[in-house]
């Protein structure tokens, strides 16, 4: 068994991962301090959710887990479960834009970031990616793409393709889960209706169950690249593949269930607030 130091230290040091996670952590910390100055509360649970999501993402991309994911199929599927599902879900659940925005120096925000964000090309690409048809198709499509045996073989043996694979899963996960978990009430093209989000999650769940079940129940080895690289632990290729398929099947599907429950909660809260406003408005007219 590797030591604790071996487990947590970078396996293959990546400046991109380090800078990205460190920048996000620093901006979030600055944002919390600024909100305190403005007499605004951030809350313990959103802060914990953001930090935990960021820590999990760093862990699977930078520590010994990254080594194991290159030598065990089921660890690889666990890595992608974190990058594509759990990590992004926890980050966007914290609605970090409210904090990160205040953490960015005002000069950078006003003169550089906001003009880029509101530029026509960037807004056009964002709206396209967040389309209720494109977003789930891309979310599931990336899973299917990187699990095509030939594509997976090439990605695992190429450092560049391996990084592209992992970053594509992370970025798409952040985009998709923000579209789903966005706490703002439905408003035209800006924020999807709750029913649309539920349908998207249901479709995503079914398609993930299909690919996960196919891998788990397959009687032949689909991913022989791990035999080429050498497995970290002495288990049979089919056992490794079965566990990986179950990881793709069950936990990923459960994330959709959790997302649906969260959306129902948001829907009920928004309906209660709307009803309360109607009641208050009616009482005002009577007075």
Q: Is the pTM of this model over 0.95?
A: no
Residue 47 pLDDT: 94
What are φ and ψ of residue 191, in 5° steps? Answer: -130, 125
Phi-psi region of 131 (alpha: psi -120 to 50; beta: other; left: phi over 0): beta
Residue 241 pLDDT: 96
Closest CA to 89 of 130, 43, 54: 54
Residue 188 pLDDT: 66
Residue 112 pLDDT: 87
178-207 pLDDT, tens digit per residue, is 999 988 878 766 788 999 999 999 999 999
Alpha carbons within 13 angstroms on the beta-carbon side of residue 3 total: 3
Please, what's the b/e burial string for 235-246 (b: 16 or more CB within 10 A of its CB; e: otherwise)?
A: eebeebbbbbbb
Residue 3 pLDDT: 67
Residue 183 pLDDT: 85
Residue 107 pLDDT: 85
What is the spatial distance between Cα 227 and Cα 236, in angstroms, rounded to a whole number?
Answer: 10
Give the Cβ contact number of residue 167 at 10 Å: 15
Residue 279 pLDDT: 64
What is the spatial distance between Cα 200 and Cα 81, in angstroms, rounded to a whole number?
Answer: 18
What is the spatial distance between Cα 183 and Cα 177, in angstroms, rounded to a whole number?
Answer: 11
Residue 111 pLDDT: 85
218-273 pLDDT, tens digit per residue, is 989 999 999 888 888 889 999 999 999 999 999 999 999 999 999 999 999 888 87
Residue segments in the chain with a per-residue pLDDT below the cut of 70:
1-6, 188-189, 278-287
138, 84 Cβ separation under 8 angstroms: no
Q: Name the one residue in this structure whose structure tokens are 């659940």.
A: 93
Residue 251 pLDDT: 95
């Amino acid at each position: 068994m590797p030591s604790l130091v071996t487990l947590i230290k970078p396996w293959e040091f990546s400046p991109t991962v380090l800078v990205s996670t460190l920048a996000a952590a620093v901006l979030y910390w600055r944002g919390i301090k600024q909100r305190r100055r403005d007499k605004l509360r951030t809350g313990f649970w959103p802060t914990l959710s953001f930090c935990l999501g960021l820590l999990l993402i760093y862990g699977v991309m930078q520590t010994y887990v990254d080594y194991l994911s290159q030598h065990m199929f089921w660890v690889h599927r666990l890595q992608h479960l974190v990058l594509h599902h759990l990590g992004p879900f926890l980050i966007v659940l914290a609605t970090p834009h409210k904090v990160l925005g205040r953490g960015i120096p005002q000069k950078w925000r006003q003169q550089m970031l906001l003009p880029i964000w509101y530029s026509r090309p960037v807004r056009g690409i964002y709206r396209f990616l967040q389309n209720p048809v494109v977003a789930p198709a891309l979310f599931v499509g990336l899973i299917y793409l990187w699990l095509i045996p030939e594509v997976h073989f090439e990605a695992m043996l190429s450092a560049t393709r391996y990084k592209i694979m992992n970053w594509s899963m992370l970025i798409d996960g952040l985009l998709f889960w923000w579209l789903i978990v966005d706490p703002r009430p439905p408003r035209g093209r800006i924020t999807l209706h709750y029913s649309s989000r539920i349908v998207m999650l249901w479709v995503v769940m079914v398609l993930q169950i299909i690919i996960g079940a196919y891998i788990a129940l397959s009687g032949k080895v689909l991913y022989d690249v791990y035999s080429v690289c050498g497995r970290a632990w002495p288990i049979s290729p089919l056992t490794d593949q079965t566990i990986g398929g179950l990881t793709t099947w069950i936990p990923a599907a459960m994330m959709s269930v959790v997302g649906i429950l969260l959306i129902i909660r948001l829907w009920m809260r928004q309906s209660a607030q709307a009803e309360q406003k109607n009641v208050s408005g009616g009482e005002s007219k009577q007075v």
